Chains A and B, each alone.
Chain A
Amino acid sequence: MTGANGRPRNVISSLFLGADQLEELNLRLQDKLLVIQQNEIRYEQQFIDGAEVVVVAFGTAARVAQTSVQRMRRAGLPVGLFRPISLWPFPEKELAQLTQHIPSVRSILVVEMNAGQMYHDVREAVGHRVPVNFKGRMGGSVPLPDEIEKELRNQLRLIDSPALLREAKNGQYAYN
């Protein structure tokens, strides 16, 4: 914008009210979203090898779950952690691969500090291959590692994990 001296006017505008114009804009934005979905997915996985129950959690809940998972692994229990770093674009394919290509994974536990905002994303990615369970705290309450561990043990019991039975026989941990 310098004054349209000897040239056609320049207009800086971001308004598209005509249906055709707006659809053109939307198509362009859809292409842009696709590029983002292809390039910006970030996630982290821990202790996935041999894991029978995998916790899916993000943010603070993921950090607490990490402690639970580390503790349980030290006790010889097969649990793992999948932590989406980018919630959008959501690491759908990576989660699906977890259940498709790692045969040991038999159950998923979603831990969140809300009523389940990511739960359905996980279910959509995993499909019906393995059960997806949910543990949530709300109102800003932070779950404790013990709380998540208790839930994970519950899940291991539900899938009749041999490791849990072995541990019970050794009498190392009280079963709750």
Chain B
Amino acid sequence: MVSMLTTEAELELQEECTREETLVYHRPDSLADVYTHYCPGCTHGTAHRLVAEVIDELGIRDDTILVASVGCSVFAYNYFDVDACEAAHGRAPAMATGVKRVHPDKIVFTYQGDGDLASIGMGEIMHAAARGENITTIFLNNATYGMTGGRWPRPVCRDR
């Protein structure tokens, strides 16, 4: 481990902190150990971590299938260490519907931003909900089309 710690007391502290029984914060197992491509200030990193922590806590990593959205977070499959696929812009719930019906015993989830889910994909999410599809959708409302330069997705930014 690369360390700037010098004094013996500090080294002891480091050893104490990284011991398994005292370790309280580490990368979730279902989050892959890769460099991030998200820009500084983007909330995807935090959201990814929270979702990954939940996957770990529920112990469902081996049974989970991710459908990624379009936008920066299409690369969610680079970060979540689960089986994954892409969908057309806004159509992740439709894709997830198909995946879930083929694999009813798996946990299928979509991870979508507001541009994907609430602008272009409003129809898909509404109808998936109306049909009562047994899928999970993580909706990240950061009020930004990040991939195309930070434009505002219309339906969610009136009060911004």
The CA of A12 and the CA of B95, in the complex, are separated in Å by 12
Interface pair B86/A2, CB less than 8 Å apart:
no
With A11-B77, A13-B77, A15-B74 known as contacts, the answer to whether A4 contacts B61 (CB < 8 A) is yes
Main secondary structure of the interface of B (DSSP, over half): mixed
Q: How far is the CB of A21 from chain B (nearest CB, A)?
A: 12
How many residues in A have their beta carbons less than 8 Å from beta carbons of B?
A: 13
Q: Interface of A with B (CB < 8 Å)? A: 1-6, 9-15
| Cβ < 8 Å to A, chain B residues 81-111 | 81-86, 99, 103, 106
Q: How far is the CB of B18 from chain A (nearest CB, A)?
A: 27
B105's closest neighbor in chain A, by CB?
A3
Q: Check B64 for interface membership: any CB of A closer than 8 A.
A: yes
Main secondary structure of the interface of A (DSSP, over half): loop
Interface pair B62/A4, CB less than 8 Å apart:
yes
Interface pair B65/A1, CB less than 8 Å apart:
yes
Q: Interface of B with A (CB < 8 Å)? A: 61-65, 74, 77, 80-86, 99, 103, 106
Interface pair B85/A12, CB less than 8 Å apart:
yes
The CA of A13 and the CA of B99, in the complex, are separated in Å by 15
**Residues of the A chain whose Cβ atoms lie less than 8 Å from the Cβ of B63:** 3, 5
Nearest first, the 5 closest Cβ-Cβ pairs linking A and B are: A5-B62, A12-B85, A1-B83, A3-B63, A11-B77
Interface pair A4/B82, CB less than 8 Å apart:
yes
Known contacts A2-B106, A9-B77, A13-B84; 17 additional CB pairs below 8 A are A1-B84, A1-B85, A1-B103, A3-B62, A3-B64, A3-B106, A4-B61, A4-B81, A4-B82, A5-B62, A10-B84, A11-B83, A11-B84, A12-B84, A12-B86, A15-B74, A15-B86
B108's closest neighbor in chain A, by CB?
A1
**Residues of the B chain whose Cβ atoms lie less than 8 Å from the Cβ of A3:** 62-65, 82-83, 103, 106
